[in-house]
Each structure stands twice: as structure tokens, then as C-alpha cells.
């Protein structure tokens, strides 16, 4: 997704000279072309993420549209106060870009895992939370963010994220994408685990279970119309996210159900409430948390069988 992000940002910067990029001493090589083409709009703020966000807020107050980029825990948790007070309080058009959502930086350990960021960021007033499902969505999201008037949190994967969309879909912030219909259950995914949701749907189809798959790339605000359609199917709904069960997409949809007085079977498939002390690749850590396609498909069939009894 990193390459897709910079492609989208470069295209946006070409048509909008207010667009600027700040990095917390990351992105070497992939940002070289952007820095060369827009030398006055690229700043390496060093390993000082809180200061970087403050600088971005000042730039936005001066009419620019800055994107502040770092590894997800450092872009969000380390400088939460600056995002809250400098950016969101003033409703500034600053985009906080967190790269490496979930277990993308798996071997680096819990300090680099990002399992709390959606929960934390969606509490902030004025902030839109966008978690693209694949590189295609990531590039389209950047272009859409260029039209936003307030702050945005953009959660990205890392490198090598599978491409799910073979053709660019219609992408609008706040409007989910239905990748395939299904009458037996609904799989709602956010972020780079979308490919797992699609693979799980394929396994379910082989078992004669037709699953509707939805990419809920915008966690705040949620797409009420799509959620209402999913609930109207009166089948179990499963949220799939590479994030803690607490406060993520599943929690957000649960809150939506309560607010709208809707009753349905909501099942959260997410990381459990603990730190991952075992080191390993993203796929290894996903497997530890039940987030592989086979594990998701097994969880879905188990729930469907229990409902049928």
C-alpha cells in the first residue's frame, strides 16, 4: 500500500499545490521522486512525530494540506495529544498517515504492532477514519482525501499487500464497497485483511455457503445505508479486522446497531485482548489470532451451524 499511497499523493500534488508531505524519517526511496518533484513541499521531520504533527497543523493553518506519515503506533499513539489539540480541535485539513496497520511489522514486536489505533482515533471529534482494503483502494482514498475539509486518519498496510480489486471500484469516503453478494451471511472487513475475507468467502462457497463481502474502508463515519441493507438480510454478520476486538470496526458497528435499535447476529473476528509476545511474520501472527482465511471460514460455519440447530 505504501507505493499506492505515494502514487495517489503524487497525482494529488500535481493538481493541488497546497499538498505537502511530512515524514518521521521514513519512506526513503519511495519518497525520492516526490521530494525531487515538489522540493518545497517535502519535509523530513526526523524521529519527532509529535513535533511533525504540530508542524503539519501550522502548515494547515497557513492554507496547506499536509500529510504526516509514520509507522502506525508512532503516527497515532505517540502524538495523540497533538492530533487531538492541534489538528482535530481546530478542524484542520491534516491527514495522519499510519503505515503498517495490524501485524504488518510483525517481527518488530508489540511496540510496532498496531492493534489499538482505530479504537483511539475514532474517538476524536472531526476526524474521519479511513482504512483501505488493498492498494487500489489506498490510491483512490488519497485522491478522495484531497477533497476533504477536515482531518483524516489514513491507515495503510505496508508492502506486498494483495490486490483484491481487479478493476478500480467507485470509491467514496463514507460509502462501503460490496465486492460480492451473498444470502447466507455477511462478511464486513476493514483494512488490509480484505484479501482474507475474500479468500474465506471462496472457502465458504465451496461449502455451499454464499457470503456477502463488504469492504468497510471508512470506519468513521460508517456507511449507514449499507449496514441497513446488510441487517435487512436477517443473516449473521461477521466483522473481520486486524485490530483488537475492543473499539475497532466490530465495536463501531455494535454501537451503530444500538443507536438505530437494530437487532441482528453480530460476530467479531479480531485480535484478542493481549500483546503478541511471540515474534513472527504478519501471516504467522494472524494465524495466532484466528485471522487466516481457513480460520475465518471455520468460525463462520460454526456460527451458521449453531443458528441452524
pLDDT at 28 over 90: no
* pLDDT for position 25: 93
Give the CATH fold of the 177-308 domain.
Rossmann fold (3.40.50)
* pLDDT for position 277: 86
Q: If you average pLDDT over every residue of the chain, what do you get? A: 96
| Sheet containing 95-99, strands listed edge to edge, beginning at the edge strand earlier in sequence | 42-44, 19-23, 65-71, 95-99, 152-156, 128-130, 218-220
d(CA 12, CA 5): 10
Domains 2-156 and 177-308 share a fold: yes
pLDDT at 272 over 90: yes
pLDDT at 21 over 90: yes
* pLDDT for position 222: 98
Q: How does residue 124 score in pLDDT terms, banded at 50, 70 and 90?
A: very high
* pLDDT for position 101: 96
Which stretches of the chain are assigned E, i.e. beta strand? 19-23, 42-44, 65-71, 95-99, 128-130, 152-156, 177-180, 185-190, 211-215, 218-220, 237-244, 266-271
Angle (nearest 5°) at CA 223 between 18 and 283: 85
- 82 neighbors 127 (Cβ within 8 angstroms): no
Query: 156-204 pLDDT, tens per residue?
Result: 998 889 999 999 999 999 999 999 999 999 999 999 999 999 999 999 9
pLDDT at 309 over 80: no
Superfamily for the 2-156 domain:
Thiamin diphosphate (ThDP)-binding fold, Pyr/PP domains (3.40.50.970)
Q: How does residue 45 score in pLDDT terms, banded at 50, 70 and 90?
A: very high
Residue tagged active-site, from 14, 49, 170, 199: 49
Query: 248-270 pLDDT, tens per residue?
Result: 999 999 999 999 999 999 999 99
**pTM exceeding the 0.95 threshold for the entire prediction:** yes
* pLDDT for position 56: 98
137 catalytically annotated: no
Q: Where are the domains positioned within the chain?
A: 2-156, 177-308
Amino acid at each position: 500500500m505504501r507505493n499506492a499511497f505515494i502514487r495517489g499523493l503524487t497525482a494529488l500534488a500535481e493538481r493541488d499545490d497546497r499538498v505537502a508531505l511530512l515524514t518521521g524519517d521514513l519512506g526513503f526511496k519511495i519518497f525520492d521522486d516526490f521530494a525531487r518533484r515538489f522540493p518545497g513541499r517535502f519535509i523530513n521531520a526526523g524521529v519527532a512525530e509529535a513535533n511533525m504533527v504540530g508542524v503539519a497543523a501550522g502548515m494547515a493553518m497557513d492554507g496547506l494540506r499536509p500529510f504526516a506519515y509514520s509507522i502506525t503506533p508512532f503516527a497515532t499513539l505517540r502524538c495523540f495529544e497533538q492530533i487531538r489539540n492541534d489538528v482535530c480541535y481546530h478542524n484542520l485539513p491534516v491527514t495522519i498517515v499510519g503505515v503498517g496497520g495490524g501485524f504488518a511489522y510483525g517481527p518488530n514486536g508489540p511496540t510496532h504492532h498496531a492493534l489499538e489505533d482505530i479504537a483511539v482515533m475514532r474517538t476524536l471529534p472531526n476526524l474521519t477514519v479511513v482504512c483501505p482494503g488493498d492498494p487500489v483502494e489506498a490510491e483512490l482514498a488519497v485522491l478522495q482525501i484531497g477533497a476533504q475539509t477536515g482531518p483524516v486518519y489514513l491507515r495503510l498496510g505496508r508492502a506486498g499487500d494483495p490486490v483484491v480489486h481487479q478493476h478500480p471500484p467507485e470509491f467514496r469516503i463514507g460509502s462501503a464497497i460490496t465486492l460480492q453478494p451473498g444470502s447466507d451471511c455477511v462478511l464486513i472487513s476493514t483494512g488490509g485483511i480484505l484479501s482474507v475475507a475474500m479468500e474465506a468467502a471462496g472457502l465458504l462457497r465451496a461449502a455451499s455457503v454464499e457470503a456477502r463481502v463488504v469492504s468497510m474502508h471508512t470506519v468513521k463515519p460508517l456507511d449507514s445505508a449499507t449496514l441497513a441493507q446488510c441487517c435487512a438480510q436477517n443473516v449473521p454478520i461477521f466483522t473481520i479486522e486486524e485490530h483488537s476486538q475492543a473499539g475497532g470496526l466490530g465495536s463501531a458497528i455494535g454501537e451503530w446497531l444500538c443507536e438505530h435499535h437494530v437487532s441482528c447476529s453480530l460476530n467479531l473476528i479480531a485480535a484478542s485482548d493481549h500483546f503478541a509476545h511471540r515474534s513472527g511474520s504478519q501471516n504467522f501472527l494472524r494465524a495466532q489470532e484466528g485471522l487466516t482465511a481457513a480460520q475465518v471460514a471455520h468460525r463462520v460455519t460454526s456460527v451458521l451451524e449453531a443458528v441452524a440447530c
